[in-house]
Structure 1
């Protein structure tokens, strides 16, 4: 990942509502969440949420798609893993982190055992 992309991503995440929205999107998995749902869950006005989501999209951290009248946002796991890889590439004395450290999106409907965890 190029340093300029890292700076844009970190800048986008350096705001309370954007960080919270990104974390919700990571938890939501590949299905993502509608902008209105994010605004409601974070108690942020829809117009403000749209601004924050645009910042995350501009930084390459989220993707968007239209479903009927809603815009659905999803975390870009490749971008997130690239950012994490960039930040940790010299950890542990220069030994690369294992592939198990990378995040993969959760399934849309997690098994019942995972819901209670």
Structure 2
């Protein structure tokens, strides 16, 4: 990742509504949410939300897919991972033991949802 791409992504997230949008989309990954639903859930006017989603999209942090009349947005976790790895590339000046607690905190703690058994 180039510095410019990292700066664009970090700048996109450096605004409260866009950070809230990204975090909301992460919670709804991988399905994503329709733009109108995002606006409603965050109590933001749709035209304002459209601008925020465009900025996140240009930064590569969200993807959009049209379904009929709605557009579903998804967090691009691969791009977000690239930004985080860019930030940690030279972790603690070559002393990874210093960064071990940080890396541990970044390790996902999500447990997979148990599959429901089909009733026969």
Shorter-chain TM-score bucket reads: 0.7 to 0.9
Q: Which runs of 5+ in 2 are unaligned?
A: 116-120
The aligned residue for residue 25 of structure 2 is: 25
User: Which structure carries more relative contact order (alpha carbon 8 Å, separation 6+)?
Assistant: 1
- What is the distance in 2 between the residues matched to 1:72 and 1:14? 23
CA distance in 1, matches of 2:18, 2:80: 14
Between the two proteins, the alignment pairs up a number of residues equal to 109
> TM-score of the superposition, structure 1-length normalised?
0.80
In 2, Cα distance between equivalents of 1:30 and 1:92: 33
Larger Rg, first or second structure (1 or 2): 2
Q: Could you give the per-residue CA deviations for residues 2-42 of structure 1, whole angstroms, max 9, x where no partner exists?
A: 10000100111111110100000111111101101110111
Consecutive aligned runs of 4 or more in structure 1 exceeding 6 Å deviation: none
Deviation, structure 1 residue 80? 0.4
Partner of 1:6: 6
TM-score (norm 2): 0.79
**Is there any run of 5+ residues in structure 1 with no aligned partner, and where?**
113-117
1:60 and 2:60 aligned: yes
